[in-house]
Structure 1
Amino acid sequence: MSSRIALIAVLILIFGSLLAYSQLRHEPLKVSGYIEAEDIRLGSRVGGRIAEVLAEEGDLVKQGQVLVRLEPFDLNEQLAAAKAEQDDQQALLNKLQAGYRAEEIAQAKAQVDELSARLQMLVNGPRQQEIDAARAELKMASSQLELAQANYKREKEVFEKGAGTQEKFDRVSDLLREAESNSVIRESTLSLLVEGTRQEEIAQARAALARASEEFNLRKSGYRDEEIAQAKAAVAAATANVAAIETRIGELNITAPTDAIVEALELEPGDLMPPNAPMLTLIDPKKLWVRAYVPENHLNIQLGQKLPITVDSYDEQFAGEITFIARNAEFTPNNVQTPEERSKQVFRIKVTLLDGRDKLRSGMAADVWLEPQGK
């Protein structure tokens, strides 16, 4: 009986000691949260019909890898038309910058010389030799007129006496009229030559020469700076249009911006996607962090501080670094578990994982130890 009492006493002593130790033992402070990853939602700014789906959920994709390809519709034709317009505007700019061809300038110079010579001829008027020749022709025409008048008078008298024929009288009459007309023409010609060129003709020749000279100067000077600037602006606009269409064509291929894992992808060829809408989601496995909430009375932490992190799946610690501390407090979320003061306000922190990224996964529950374990 006494041995039983002694055993009970030992058990009570052991239990009391354990109870006292548990009450006196200090458990290191930790906060719980979940591992999160950076989501990359990919889409296209142009949208369109799905032509090919080249990835599946769970695939590890490389940077630049094409994941989804859209049908081009009429973008290729738009690009061809835009490039043709660019070439046309560039050709016009090249023409303006090069100026007129040497043949065109020489042609304008020849026109100036020709009109200048004509003006000089009009200003100088007829030469003396021309006037003398006209006087001689008038004198000859006068002699022919006198002869024709004498023949007409003689033939008329013969005809009136009945000795001549009607045919012969008509012939000398025609010769008289022809001589009279020729004499008038020669007299008028001489009068014009003596009077010289009219002032209206000289003025007209001067105006024609001025126009030709301006055209010649214009071709020598080339095109105006304003015209070249306008052509350059047109080329720039056409080039920008080509670049914009090429960018839209580039948007037909949805590529991975970095090495990542395909998280969500529910597309089939033939599906229509609107512009700027997410088509698939990637997760960057190189960027994992724990979202946790720290009570206000344990906010003696700082950015850059290294903290250990544990998860239920592995019996080891992983290194983390505090990269964000919220400036504003908030009430404790329902999914946050802290050993104490759950009803008080907390501050959200972000602890970026420095290792274990090949083992840990987004969505895992994790504990962030604010104090070292084993104290």
Structure 2
Amino acid sequence: MLTRFIPLTAAVGVLLALVFYSKWNPDPPRVSGMIEADEIRLGSRVGGRIAMVHVQEGQEVAAGDVLVEFEPYDLLEREKELELSLAVRQSQYQQTLAGFRDEEIAQAKAKFDQLQARLDLLVAGPRPQEIEAARGRQALAEAEKRLATQGYERLSKLAGSNATSQQEMDAAREALEAASANLVVRQQELELLLAGTREEELRGAAASVEEARQAWQLMQRGYRQEEIEQAKASRDAAEAALQAIRRQKEELRVKSPIDGRIEALDLQPGDMVAPGAPVLSMLDRNELWVRSYVPQTRVVNVGQRLRLSIDSHPDRTFEGVVTFVARQAEFTPSNVQTPEERSKQVFRIKVGIDDQDDLLRPGMIVDVWLDELGANR
């Protein structure tokens, strides 16, 4: 009987010891949470019709991989048009910057010299030889008129005795009138030469000379700085428009910004997508974190390092850093369990995970131990 009582007494003693040990050394407080990853919703600022889809849901992609391509529509034609426009603006800017060619300056100088010579000619007036020639032409016209007058008078006397015909009288009369008109013309020519150049002609010729001189000097000086700046601004505007089109072309290919996994994708070639609308979403597995809720009786600070444990890796302990603590308390969500009473309010926290071995996945349930990590080392 005594032999049976001794083992029973020993077992009761061990149980009591374990109870006292658990009372004096309770497990550290912990809360549960779920591993989450940042979701990136990708789209295009231009939108349009889907041309190709290169990925599927759940597929792992690397940064820079092309995920979806849009049809270019008229972007290629507009890009070509703007390239030609930029070439024209660049040529105009270079022409303005270089100034006028030597041949153009020489042409302007020749025109100035030509007009200056004409002005000098007008100022000098007719030469004496021209005046003498005009007087000689006037004298000749006077002689021709006298001869025509004598012939007409002689035929007039003969006409009284019917010794000449009417036809001869008409010819003599026309010859007299022509000689008289020719004499008037020669007299006017001589008077014009004697009067010299009119003042109005001199002023007009001087104005033409001044205009040609200013044009020549303008070509020598080249374009004004304001004109060069205007040509440059026009060139820069064309270049900016071309860059905008090329940026739109880049938006035709939706690329992955990070290494991650495609989370949601519901597209087929030919689908229409509005500009700015997301076409797929992906998870950033390089930035895992735990969303959890801490009772208000526990104090957790940003930057505090905590232990993490997960059922799928019971032999491993992970580390995390508190990156966020809510400023305002809230009621405990129904899917979160804590050792404290559920009616108490909690603070939402985010704990960044250090998972260098790539063992954790979004959606896993994690225990977050609220004791300071350094206290367990």
- Summarize deviations over 1:95-114 as a string: whole Å, max 9, x none: 33333333333333222222
Shift of 1:23: 3.2
Worse overlay, 131-140 or 256-265? 131-140
With over 3 angstroms needed to count, the CA separation of the structure-2 counterparts of 1:364 and 1:122, relative to structure 1, is same
Q: In the alignment, what sits opposite 1:131?
A: 131
Shift of 1:269: 1.2
Q: In the alignment, what sits opposite 1:313?
A: 312
Shift of 1:248: 1.2
Q: In the alignment, what sits opposite 2:280?
A: 280
Q: Is the 8 A contact 1:320 1:351 kept in 2?
A: no
Shift of 1:159: 4.1
Whole-angstrom distance in 2 between the partners of 1:158 and 1:9: 190
Shift of 1:176: 3.0
One-letter amino acid matched to 2:321: I
- Summarize deviations over 1:54-79 as a string: whole Å, max 9, x none: 01122111111111111112222222
Q: In the alignment, what sits opposite 1:87?
A: 87
Q: In the alignment, what sits opposite 1:330?
A: 329
Q: Which runs of 5+ in 1 are unaligned?
A: none
Q: How does 1:1-375 map to 2 (within 5 A)?
A: 9-299=9-299, 301=301, 303=303, 305-326=304-325, 328-331=327-330, 332-340=332-340, 342-371=342-371
Identity of aligned residues (%): 43
One-letter amino acid matched to 2:237: A
Q: Which runs of 5+ in 2 are unaligned?
A: none
- Summarize deviations over 1:291-312 as a string: whole Å, max 9, x none: 2233333316551x43321100
- Summarize deviations over 1:15-43 as a string: whole Å, max 9, x none: 44443344333212222211111222111
Worse overlay, 190-199 or 204-213? 204-213
Worse overlay, 166-175 or 247-256? 166-175
Shift of 1:313: 0.4
Please give the root-mean-square deviation of Cα atoms over the aligned residues, in Å.
2.7
Whole-angstrom distance in 1 between the partners of 2:15 and 2:142: 168
Worse overlay, 221-230 or 256-265? 221-230
- Summarize deviations over 1:182-235 as a string: whole Å, max 9, x none: 222222211111111222222222233333333333333333333333332222
TM-score, normalized by length of structure 2? 0.88
TM-score, normalized by length of structure 1? 0.88
Q: Is the 8 A contact 1:62 1:260 kept in 2?
A: yes
Q: Is the 8 A contact 2:302 2:325 kept in 1?
A: no
Shift of 1:262: 1.4
With over 3 angstroms needed to count, the CA separation of the structure-2 counterparts of 1:314 and 1:177, relative to structure 1, is same
With over 3 angstroms needed to count, the CA separation of the structure-2 counterparts of 1:183 and 1:369, relative to structure 1, is same
Whole-angstrom distance in 2 between the partners of 1:278 and 1:272: 12
Whole-angstrom distance in 2 between the partners of 1:182 and 1:11: 162
Report the number of matched residues: 374
One-letter amino acid matched to 1:128: P
Shift of 1:257: 0.8
Whole-angstrom distance in 2 between the partners of 1:102 and 1:329: 80
Worse overlay, 188-197 or 137-146? 137-146
